[in-house]
Structure 1
Amino acid sequence: MKKALIAMSGGVDSSVSAHLMIKRGYDCMGTTMRLYENDMIGEDLLSTCCSLKDTNDARSVCDKIGIPFKILHYENLFREEVMEDFVANYEAGLTPNPCIVCNKRFKFGRLIDKMEEFGMDYVVTGHYARIYYNEETKRYVLKKAVDLSKDQSYVLYNMSQEQLAHTIFPLGEYTKSEVREIALENDFVNAKKHESQDICFVPDGDYVAFMERFRKKSYEPGDFVDLKGNVIGKHKGYVHYTIGQRKGLGIAMGHPVFVVDINPKENKVVIGESEDLFNDTLIADNINLISVPDLYEPRKIKAKIRYAMTEQEATVRQLDDNRIEVKFDKPQRAITKGQAVVLYDGEDVVGGGRIIDIVRN
């Protein structure tokens, strides 16, 4: 009998994933990863996704479906590898996506290590995505979920072939409403539980307050400047801003203006017009390719530069072992350094990388 280690957050998705794996005949163990303590985020852990209630909900579901449950502690490593990375990227003028880092290093990194340590065959999570093996190319391929409104392939683009080979996403073929129905039918304690949309360690959404607690310092005010470098106002610290931001700037120009660039070295935030946000070419590093071994030959694909957008027509070419250039057919608004660009061929994820530069039009 194949054995599966189920990553359980205490939410409905991972709970139904565990249930489905039992129905498939797998020998399962549930596990919750403890990633931080309340003093690390300045919040009461009763109100966050690593809360005691969430842990108890996960344990309750495991008891109900008759599988063992284990808590794994990664607080110090999570602080070093995810929180530190998050803060350092913001301080470098980037806008990071910590979920992508966490997926690579913890959910499909250290959890797969634990899977092997426990003598198990697969890691299972409640992500909405699919995995299949392409016999022709001899590669594992990540696919979009059937429920495109819940598809999470964007934040999974960094998975390696080894990780894909040892991962199962039971919810990839289900809609969210079907998952809720399964949870209700089985009387799971979390069947109607609300989903969190925030970064797990910034549950109130105030990432600057988190950074100030993390660094034990405040960020210095600086200058708003226009595209020519003229000072047009004062900002409250460049980490407060991201590309495309319009609200909360605190400057009156007589018409809408936007953040078009961030200069951390000089503590300046560049302000421009809406049209100044549009560019068609970006460079990404830290690339990971899934469905193909390389992209040195230019290739037409679709790509998206943030989670909540529809992918757009583009051409990609690989520059070296670690970088790709993506040129969109039409200029895209607010391409943001630090975010991921993810490449698609139909339902398949070709790969992706971290945006590090924008070729200005």
Structure 2
Amino acid sequence: MAHDGAHPLNSLGFAKPPAETRVVVAMSGGVDSSVVAAQLAEEGYDVIGVTLQLYDHGAALAKKGACCAGRDIHDARRVAEDMGFPHYVLDYENVFKDAVIDEFADSYLAGATPVPCIRCNEKVKFKDLLETAKDLDADCMATGHYIQRSDGAQGPQLHSAADANRDQSYFLFSTTPAQLDYLRFPLGHLPSKEATRALAAKYGLSVADKPDSQDICFVPNGNYAAVIEKLRPGAAEPGEIVDHEGNVRGTHNGVLHYTIGQRRGIGIGGLADPLYVVKLDVDKKQVIVGPKEMLATRKIPVREINWLGDEPFMSREEWHVLVRVRSTRPPREAIIRPISDTEAEVELIVAEEGVSPGQACVFYDDNSTRIFGGGWIWRGY
């Protein structure tokens, strides 16, 4: 599709040669973003690699040998050297602490399983880093996320990745239309992770066999308790285990050791009907337990909604969609009832367990791959 007869659109959607198209690639040091950078460099784009220094691992955990952040920067720099494009490291530690780490602690202690990766995309990568890309006169910014973007009649749309197992839509629902306009996700159409690794091998990247990181970047080995204890010392103090009627049923050694929905290891034995953790009260240092049905939720209050539909969010009294209330669960049928442009009540057709504040609720079209945005669940029932 040619524009003004001069140049057809290049692979990033611009009507000019790749060499005249500048793209900033957000490089984490992992396989995905390295492949994006290498592929665009090979296609002849004017690539600039940028890696964010988000926190000092050693200082965060006061332990020796915690050098994974340094390792990732080294890996990203090496890919840039091998492929011959410039690479910068930006220190975003303060922004990251204010926008992501502090909220992570508060959200965890409110009984949620926090999803800091979403806030990092929203408040650091797609905000500050995107502004930096514009300052560098880049035409767009590319990332290694598994998600697809397409140009619709009303502007860019967000769609799930071709590989459902790798799809990262849950972590990207808060991407605004303006950001979507500027972002590119070159891996979203790939059929599998193996395809990405094959490309890494093709480009001879040193990270081709690097394992995927499973942990939240500032929570090494998934040890939430150690990080929370440092950030919020009171959460490690002992207190009472109380049932839903207010009776003391036992004691605990810190609310941070419990999660909503937990049944095993609560420390109350010999019950005819098992009790589950239904709420954590940090102020009173109480773990509240109750029967399983107290965990089931049908109506979920959602706020800070980012709406990506073609019609205004408030233009309908209800939207029939699919929603996902945890990254690990499939989307389920629901009705969204808007309260304002950014608030709504979401009603699940079938009740779900373990819906907790601090999780995201992401909206999906029920008959296509399109994502209609989402919001944050903000208080339990």
Output the amino acid matched with 1:205: G
Output the amino acid matched with 1:108: F
Matched, 1:213 2:225: no
Residue 222 of structure 1 is matched in structure 2 by 239
Structure 2 distance, partners of 1:20, 1:358, is 45
Structure 2 distance, partners of 1:257, 1:107, is 41
Residue 263 of structure 1 is matched in structure 2 by 281
Matched, 1:251 2:268: yes
- Aligned residue pair count: 355
Output the amino acid matched with 1:13: D
Residue 26 of structure 1 is matched in structure 2 by 45
Deviation of 1:45 (Å): 6.1
> For the Cα contact (< 8 Å) 1:284–1:341, is it kept in 2?
yes
Provide TM-score, normalisation by structure 1: 0.93
Structure 2 distance, partners of 1:34, 1:153, is 24
The structure with the larger Rg is 2
Question: Structure 1 residues 147 and 177 mapped into 2: Cα distance closer, same or farther (>3 Å)?
Answer: same
> For the Cα contact (< 8 Å) 1:86–1:96, is it kept in 2?
yes
Matched, 1:347 2:369: yes
Structure 1 distance, partners of 2:94, 2:61, is 13
Residues 304-343 of structure 1: pairs in structure 2 closer than 5 A: 304-343=324-363
Task: Give unmatched runs, 5+ long, in structure 2.
Answer: 1-19
Output the amino acid matched with 1:156: L
Structure 1 distance, partners of 2:275, 2:67, is 36
Q: Which residue of 165, 174, 179 corresponds with 1:158?
A: 174
Deviation of 1:219 (Å): 2.8
Structure 2 distance, partners of 1:217, 1:358, is 22
User: 1:304-361 CA distances to partner (integer Å, 9 max, x unpaired)?
Assistant: 10001100011001112331111111111111111001010031111111111344xx
Structure 2 distance, partners of 1:273, 1:217, is 28
Structure 1 distance, partners of 2:80, 2:369, is 33
Q: Secondary structure at the match of 2:250?
A: strand
Q: Which residue of 146, 155, 174 corresponds with 1:128?
A: 146
Question: Structure 1 residues 61 and 316 mapped into 2: Cα distance closer, same or farther (>3 Å)?
Answer: same
Matched, 1:171 2:197: no
Identical-pair percentage? 37
Residue 195 of structure 1 is matched in structure 2 by 212
User: 1:84-126 CA distances to partner (integer Å, 9 max, x unpaired)?
Assistant: 1111223444332111100001111111111011111111111
Residue 26 of structure 2 is matched in structure 1 by 7
Task: Give unmatched runs, 5+ long, in structure 1.
Answer: none
> For the Cα contact (< 8 Å) 2:111–2:260, is it kept in 1?
no
Structure 1 distance, partners of 2:65, 2:22, is 31
Structure 1 distance, partners of 2:64, 2:93, is 16
Structure 2 distance, partners of 1:99, 1:264, is 24
